[in-house]
Amino acid sequence: MAEIMDGKSLSLKILDDIKEKTALLKKRPGLSVILIGNNPASSIYVKNKEKQALNAGFNSIVYKLPETASKGELLSLINNLNNDEDIDGILLQLPLPKHLNPYDFLDKIDPKKDVDGFHPVNAGKLLLNENPYAVPCTPKGIIRLLDEYKIQIEGKNAVIIGRSNIVGKPLSMLLLNKNATVTIAHSKTKNLSEIAKNADILISATGCADMVTKDIVKEGAAVIDVGIIRDENGKLRGDVDFNNVKDIAGFITPVPGGVGPMTIAMLMENTYKLHLLRNGL
Ligand code: GUN
């Protein structure tokens, strides 16, 4: 029976620590989140980010733009936030409405305020293993969870299912920088089960229910579930067939209560760190 990796309680410890350290600062760290349109999942995520930021003692401002917002409006808002001394972190909530290309905007955010670590400068620094100003929150949270449970990364086979710019690609770099042997599997991968069965650390970030079943998991593996899927009864679940996989895995993250809360905790940590960096602290 696998040990459950409790992201919820670890995230609370991290958030408490940030709150304590923030109380000692002269100035409050400032996080601004830009939400465009009415995507229901995005609205929930943004509300949660705002709540945690306020709880940490940050200055938190959410900018809500209509679904029809123009490229010019969004560029002008980003420019204002880049020049706002009180703002340390700028987060553009994805996905954007179809008429807007995220990469027309992500590279306009000041890399030193790029709290998501999505700017090409930060992505490049991560690729080069050269101190990005910020590292993407979900991958960073996964590494923190692996560390907390003392799961060895160096020399291990890590298999990531999913090649997104938000999770799969940056996570592959973090694991590689920690000397794992990394495989990224995706929708065109042949022999997924063979590849996954070889994983000491198996991470699934696809949004497909039952992507990871017991038969493709190596005995004793650490299984990390990044999926967030609402089933037909409105209940949250992940990519992993948790009830069966837990019998064979060594470690497993639950959904909810695994990777999700760690992502938000890392967002607060990134905001705090960018504040220190920008203020020479
Ligand atoms: N949408 C889903 N995950 C994320 C994230 O980590 N950052 C942003 N900006 N948008 C997202």
Percentage of the chain with pLDDT > 90?
99
Per-residue pLDDT at 170: 99
The verdict on whether 52 is a catalytic residue reads no
CA distance 28 to 50: 14
Per-residue pLDDT at 172: 99
Q: What is the mean pLDDT of residues 142-164?
A: 98
Ligand 1 contact via 116 beta carbon (within 6 Å): yes
CA of 91 to the centre of ligand 1 (A): 8
Could you tell which of 35, 50, 116, 228 is best to mutate to test the pocket of ligand 1, judged by most ligand atoms within 8 Å of the CB? 116
Per-residue pLDDT at 226: 98
pLDDT tens digits for 47-77? Answer: 999 999 999 999 999 999 999 999 999 999 9
Q: Which of 179, 218, 191 is nearest to 202 (CA)?
A: 218
- CA 245 distance to own-chain centroid: 23
The verdict on whether 16 is a catalytic residue reads no
Per-residue pLDDT at 79: 98
Ligand 1 contact via 269 beta carbon (within 6 Å): no
Amino acid of residue 14: I
pLDDT tens digits for 185-233? Answer: 999 999 999 999 999 999 999 999 999 999 999 999 999 999 999 989 9
Per-residue pLDDT at 168: 98
Secondary structure class of 175 (helix, strand, coil): helix
CA distance 240 to 255: 9
Per-residue pLDDT at 12: 98
Ligand 1 contact via 270 beta carbon (within 6 Å): no
The verdict on whether 21 is a catalytic residue reads no
The torsion defined by the Cα of 63, 65, 69 and 75, in degrees rounded to 10, comes to 0
Q: In which band, very low, low, confident or very high, does the pLDDT at 26 lie, cut at 50, 70 and 90?
A: very high
